[in-house]
Amino acid sequence: MKLYDCSMAPNPRRARIFIAEKGLDIPRHEVSILDGENLAPAYLAINPWGTLPALELDDGTVITEAPCIFRYLEALHPEPNLLGRDPLEAARIEAWERFAEMNGMAAIGEFFRNQTDAFTDRALPGYAGVKTVPALVERGRQRVAFFHRQLEKRLGESPYLGGARFSAADITALCAVDFGHAVGLPIPADNAHTLRWHADVSARPGSAN
Ligand SMILES: N[C@@H](CCC(=O)N[C@@H](CS)C(=O)NCC(=O)O)C(=O)O
């Protein structure tokens, strides 16, 4: 197996943390998004969607999308369980994982990409030719505020996003929150529950990835 990775990007980090939490050692191949290596023919032959992460199996099959990589690895290595032990827990974890991706990761991406010169012609991940829209910077900021409000509410009722224990939902939310911090949208200072959760999940060895 091989993980196509980009060390500065938040979605590949989801896969790296998941792999570390499982105790797996999967070789990585670095692909530079900033240099546009993910849009060049060599990488598009591996993942035509041009995104990272991607997991290549030994027979050449490629799995794209972080949650699908999670699902595949969890089926091969059920412990420690990160995707839920019963139908209700699995549904809760997936709901928060999807929420963190769509309303966290994508919203922060909207805020960041639409104001960043390097992405003028690359407003969306995986392909070129789409122009940035400056008005989306403010919309992204509002979406991220909504994301932080929802995290704070949930983490006031539950130690982790999926429930009583750490899961894939926390991995995706951590990667989104840290991405937000890096681009100027940190956890609001009053969000005590989120700050408590962030310190907890950041201290896990896998989160150093
Ligand atoms: N939904 C995808 C998102 C992948 C994604 O957007 N990755 C970004 C890096 S964080 C990317 O590949 N960007 C390529 C680009 O900006 O051209 C997943 O779950 O893996």
CB of 31 within 6 A of ligand 1: the answer is no
What pLDDT shows up at residue 145?
98
The count of structural domains within the chain is 2
**What's the whole-number mean pLDDT along residues 166-190?**
98
The verdict on 196 and 130 lying in the same domain is yes
Q: Is 139 found in the same domain as 110?
A: yes
Which atom from ligand 1 is nearest to the alpha carbon of 119? 16
Q: Average pLDDT, stretch 78-86?
A: 98
Q: For position 168, what pLDDT does the model report? A: 98
Residue where one domain finishes, among candidates 76, 103, 138: 76
Tell me what pLDDT residue 51 has.
98
How many alpha carbons lie under 13 Å from residue 37 in its C-beta half-sphere?
Answer: 11
Would you state the structure tokens that stand for residue 194, as one six-digit string? 């989120």
Residue 70 domain-assigned (yes or no): yes
Q: Are residues 191 and 91 in the same domain?
A: yes
Answer yes or no: is 81 within a domain. Answer: no
Tens-digit pLDDT profile for residues 123-155: 999 999 999 999 999 999 999 999 999 999 999
Q: What is the mean pLDDT of the chain?
A: 97
Nearest CA to ligand 1 atom 16: 125
Residue 82 lies in a domain: no
Q: Is there a cis peptide before residue 80, judged by omega within 30 degrees of 0?
A: yes
